[in-house]
């Protein structure tokens, strides 16, 4: 007997519920020390690429290329969401290999809409409510991120036009993720970025830093991923 559309919809709903429960269980096992070590080790390499995307987006917009500017901004968003939020979850869950394997297969390298749907559940565990963050004009960040991503996809796959306003929204989203997601996250786990100018250095009295310590900076992009 072939599956009906109702069966398919039910399977997808069950998978989404299972993954949401899995995320909740995994985040509860990731300690602040594990997250701090990950961000202190890899944060500078990730941020360098995000900053490069921001610079590209600004330069391309100034050259009258809003479509290419939007693509650069979305790459910056993707790097931020995947490597600053999702990847630490995977790193911190290594004791549960079966969970890490599922997350890597179905989320980290899966369709972007899947991990966008799960990220708010991850972030709230660290005291960050992605769905409550607003942009300068009052619009909620998270729905705008989804809209910007769709605009990028329509350009890449259908060459739909991208307006200057769309490109500027993309740049604003990257800025907001850095200021309203990464800064609180860094301080929550005891890192002093951006005050210390480096993720790998924690300075007494700056941000969340209570003592002077440092991590050996490394790149997550040199790990065959």
- Model confidence band, residue 94 (pLDDT cutoffs 50, 70, 90): very low
DSSP three-state, residue 140: strand
Q: Residue length, the chain? A: 225
Q: CA-to-CA distance for 104 and 52, rounded, in angstroms?
A: 26
Residues with Cβ within 8 Å of residue 151, at least 6 apart in sequence:
70, 160, 162, 166, 170
Q: CA-to-CA distance for 120 and 181, rounded, in angstroms?
A: 11
Instruction: Provide φ and ψ at 201, rounded to 5°.
Output: -120, 130
Q: What is the pLDDT of residue 67?
A: 97
pLDDT digits (tens, 9 = 90+) for 178-225: 999 999 999 888 898 998 889 998 876 655 445 567 899 999 887 554
pLDDT digits (tens, 9 = 90+) for 103-130: 555 554 455 555 566 778 777 777 788 8
Residues with Cβ within 8 Å of residue 5, at least 6 apart in sequence:
none
Q: Nearest CA to 27 among 120, 133, 145, 132?
A: 120
- pLDDT at position 62 over 60: yes
Q: What is the dihedral of CA 156, 82, 132, 118, to 10 degrees?
A: 90
Q: What is the pLDDT of residue 128?
A: 84
Instruction: Provide φ and ψ at 134, rounded to 5°.
Output: -115, 150
Location of structure tokens 């790459």: 75
Q: Nearest CA to 177 among 50, 70, 69?
A: 50
Given a contact cutoff of 8 angstroms between Cβ atoms, the answer to whether 198 and 51 are in contact is no
Tokens of 68: 């290419």
Q: What is the pLDDT of residue 8?
A: 41
DSSP three-state, residue 214: strand
Using the Cα atoms of residue 208, residue 210, residue 211 and residue 215 in order, give the sign of their dihedral. negative
- pLDDT at position 72 over 80: yes
pLDDT digits (tens, 9 = 90+) for 139-188: 999 999 989 999 999 999 999 999 999 999 999 999 999 999 999 999 88
Tokens of 20: 């949401």
What is the value of pTM for the model shown?
Answer: 0.80
Mean pLDDT, residues 25-54 taken together: 86
């Amino acid at each position: 007997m072939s599956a009906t559309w109702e069966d398919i919809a039910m399977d997808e709903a069950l998978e989404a519920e299972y993954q949401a429960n899995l995320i909740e269980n995994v985040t509860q096992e990731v300690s602040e020390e594990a997250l701090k070590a990950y961000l202190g080790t890899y944060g500078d390499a990730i941020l360098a690429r995000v900053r490069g995307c921001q610079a590209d987006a600004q330069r391309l917009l100034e050259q009258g290329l809003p479509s290419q500017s939007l693509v650069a901004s979305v790459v910056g968003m993707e790097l931020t969401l995947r490597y600053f939020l999702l990847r630490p979850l995977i790193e911190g869950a290594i004791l549960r290999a079966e969970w890490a394997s599922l997350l890597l297969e179905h989320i980290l390298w899966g369709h972007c809409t899947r991990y966008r749907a799960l990220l708010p559940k991850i972030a709230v565990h660290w005291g960050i409510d992605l769905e409550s963050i607003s942009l300068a004009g009052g619009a909620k960040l998270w729905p705008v991120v989804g809209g910007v991503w769709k605009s990028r996809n329509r350009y890449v796959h259908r060459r739909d036009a991208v307006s200057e306003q769309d490109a500027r929204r993309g740049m604003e989203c990257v800025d907001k993720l850095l200021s309203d997601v990464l800064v609180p996250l860094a301080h929550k786990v005891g890192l002093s970025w951006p005050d210390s100018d480096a993720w790998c250095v924690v300075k007494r009295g700056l941000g969340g830093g209570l003592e002077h310590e440092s991590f050996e900076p490394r790149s997550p992009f040199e790990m065959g991923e």
